Amino acid sequence: MSRESYSRSSMSRKVVASLAGLGLAGFVVFHMLGNLQVFEGSDALNRYASFLRDMPFFLWTARLGLLAVAAAHVVLAIQLALKNRHARPIAYAVRDYRNASVASRTMALSGSLLLVFIVFHLLHLTAGLVDPAVPSRVDAQGHLDVYGKLLHAFQNPLYVAVYCAGQLVLGIHLSHAVSSSLQTLGLEHAAWNRVFKAAGPAVALLVVCGNLSIILAVFLGMIRP
């Protein structure tokens, strides 16, 4: 492969990985906003969760879409990381490592840890396999009691610690990923550059604070059955 087409194929991979990553970041924001309904009580959260489940076509399309986007993001990110390791001058010809943030230098590590957290989270809250005591019952209205699941999970210091660690990793990954994706998509324009640089840390802070507020509010007894 010529040096030019090698570089072009790297660039298209970066563009697709960035688009997929931004889609995943959108899901994480949406998921956090949905879960914040725990503060409105069990009816609100359980009704919201049932509303999504009552549209199986939409739910499964979204789930399969999310899975495909996540798989594309992970595969392309791994390919890019391996390529960069073998041919660093092409991907990072103008990058000055002295100025690179910790987040940018540890993307592969934070991404891998995030994947581990997501698998744990699905086995824990969705499949109920990690903690068989997670209640999978319906509430008085006949809705799946997602509220009861969260309260049960975050009263346990062990799960609080795991979820807080997950938020730390998520925050580190998002803070670099969102800015870097916007720049990869060619949106790096002098006038917008500062906004895009700030977008990553801002999205990360929003998601992490939102999620931590749920975990800690339950743990500290501010949300009760």
Check: CB of residue 52 under 8 Å from CB of residue 59. yes
- Bridge partners (DSSP) of residue 144 are 138
- Bridge partners (DSSP) of residue 138 are 144
Nearest-approach distance from CB 216 to ligand HEM, in angstroms: 10
211 binds ligand HEM per the rule CB under 6 A: yes
69 binds ligand HEM per the rule CB under 6 A: no
177 binds ligand HEM per the rule CB under 6 A: no
118 binds ligand HEM per the rule CB under 6 A: yes
| SS3 at position 184 | helix
31 binds ligand HEM per the rule CB under 6 A: yes
In whole angstroms, how far apart are CA 78 and each of 4, 13, 34, 40, 156?
21, 11, 31, 40, 35
Give the max Cα distance, the chain: 66
Nearest-approach distance from CB 43 to ligand HEM, in angstroms: 15
Q: Per CB under 6 A, which region of 8-16, 80-88, 117-125, 191-199 contacts ligand HEM? A: 117-125
| SS3 at position 189 | coil
| Half-sphere CA count of 106, side-chain side, radius 13 A | 14
DSSP alpha helix (H) spans, the chain: 3-35, 42-53, 56-86, 88-91, 102-105, 107-121, 146-153, 157-182, 190-219
Q: Which is nearer to ligand HEM, 91 or 113 (CB)?
A: 113
* Residues numbered 138-167 forming contacts with ligand HEM, rule: CB under 6 A: 146, 149-150, 163
- Please pick, from the candidates 25, 72, 74, 125, the single residue that binds ligand HEM as defined by CB under 6 A: 125
Nearest-approach distance from CB 93 to ligand HEM, in angstroms: 32
110 binds ligand HEM per the rule CB under 6 A: no
**Where does this chain bind ligand HEM (CB under 6 A)?**
28, 31, 35, 63, 118, 121-122, 125-126, 146, 149-150, 163, 170, 211, 214-215
